[in-house]
Amino acid sequence: MRGPHNILRLIRTGATLERTGAMGLIMQAMDAPPLVRVTMRCLAWPFQWLGYKGDTSMPPATRALTALGPAYIKFGQILSTRPDLVGDDLATQLRVLQDKLPAFPKEEAEREIAVELGSPVDELFDDFSAPVAAASIAQVHKARLRSTGEDVAVKVLRPGIEKAFRKDIDAFYFAANTIEFLSPASRRLRPTDVIAHFEGVVMGELDLRLEASSASEFAANTANDEGFELPDVKWEHSSRRVMTLGWADGQPLGDNDALDAVGHDRVVLGERVLQLFLSHALRDGYFHADMHQGNLKVAANGNIIAYDFGIMGHIDEYTRRVYAEILYGFIKRDYKRVAEVHFEAGYVPADQDVDEFARALRAVGEPIFGMDAQQISMGGLLSYLFEVTEIFGMETRTELILLQRTMVVVEGVARSLSPQINIWQVAKPVVEDYIRQSIGPRAIARDLGKTMAVLMRYGPRLPVLVENALIRQSQPMNANHQSGKGRNAIYGLLGAALGVATTLIVTFLL
């Protein structure tokens, strides 16, 4: 229930950060202005007795976010991939949130599996281990299939996780509604829609049948991707709260010392993880949207192994083309074209000046080129982009939220492997290839073919549709707009008929 009772939840959030000592640490790591730091501390300090104590053996930030619950843990996971924003020390502390959280008892997992799969664990698996990884939503056990002897990973949802997430999401809705009420200017960012999007993603992650389906589809899309592999789904040992996958053997992508010890090239790995993400997003429109280090390993042959498919992103073909053109424009430093794409897609209101917007984009893009990668402040860049969007009245694009968030995470992963990586140079060949495939002459011919195929499917129905429209047109009309509507329907049908006829002629000639 989204009501004023959530005020206590939000107050407790600030109180927990203050009580655990995480408030000042996070403010300092993110280089918050002094006024913001003082204000936040003053608001939270009187209520710190309401805050959760947390596990005192953990560092302050990890302790606070773990105590606050799964939604806050997700936030910490994102920050853990961005040492350029929060510093190496805090990023390292938060990295335990990816897969090293406190586990729930093995016995509870076995009971859950028995209920979900309809058989006791010892009838399904041999060597069912203690938890080998525990994250915000589920934990993983290593086991061996009794039927085949294959090593597998068995993922089990945390008990009561659905209720815990609902409590956090309700508080987030209350905060978003309050912000929109108190600050009308914030409505262009559509905070309530952002939370709704987050809610949809999370609810999908809490049904492991959907995750298994996502893994299967993702595997089909990426079967031919060099240097990339996925574990197989074991459907007969999966259900809503339990999922079984083939075991992924490899070094954790977040352990640089281990990667160096076995001779993996971290520069190559950093470039590969970024290019793989862009290929999946642009080529397939379907991508792994939780690509932090805790969900990635490196096999002995150097292949990147991805797992945990609870959050997958999807973008339609038109949005992919818009996104690619924007990226390509930045890469080519063609800011006028980037501005035009924003206007054509409706991202910027038509009453704004395209040339002024292009100049503002130039101020965003130019600092990227010709600089050492470590000199670029992504925090400063994002801050300036926010100012630009506010000036030109851009609204938050909810369909791009997951893509943008994942891009930030993947960039953080790539930088953790290779701090000197130049994001734009690495992205360039992938984006250029997509541009050639989707916007060149071949793409135009392919799009025309799809349009013709759709029109031809309606061919047999056109005579009936036209006849029905003519009958409606012959009936008395009570208003001029009805007559106009009828004529428009007839013109549309006749146009479609003409289109089909033209298609048939062209097809015959070809």
**pLDDT above 50: residue 500:** no
Task: Report the chain's mean pLDDT, rounded to a whole number.
Answer: 79
- Work out whether strand 304-306 and strand 286-288 pair parallel, antiparallel, or are unpaired: unpaired
Q: Residue 134 forms beta bridges with which residues?
A: 100, 139
Q: Which of 7-11, 81-85, 127-131 is predicted with the least confidence, judged by mean pLDDT?
A: 81-85
Tell me the C-alpha to C-alpha distance, in Å, between residue 317 and each of 284, 340, 351, 438, 496: 9, 19, 27, 9, 24
Token pair of 149 as six digits: 């002897």
Residues 415-441 pLDDT 10s: 889 888 877 788 888 888 888 777 666
Active site amino acids: 290
Residues 439-453 pLDDT 10s: 666 666 766 776 677
Q: What is the DSSP string of 201-248?
A: HHHHHT-HHHHHHHHHHHHHHTTT-TTEE-PPB-GGG--SSEEEEE--
Residues 360-408 pLDDT 10s: 888 877 876 666 555 554 445 555 555 676 677 776 565 666 777 788 7
Pairwise CA distance, residues 81 & 87, whole Å: 10
| Confidence at 329, pLDDT banded by 50, 70, 90 | confident
Tell me the C-alpha to C-alpha distance, in Å, between residue 56 and each of 10, 21, 52, 53, 136: 22, 11, 11, 7, 19
Pairwise CA distance, residues 495 & 508, whole Å: 20
pLDDT at 303: 95
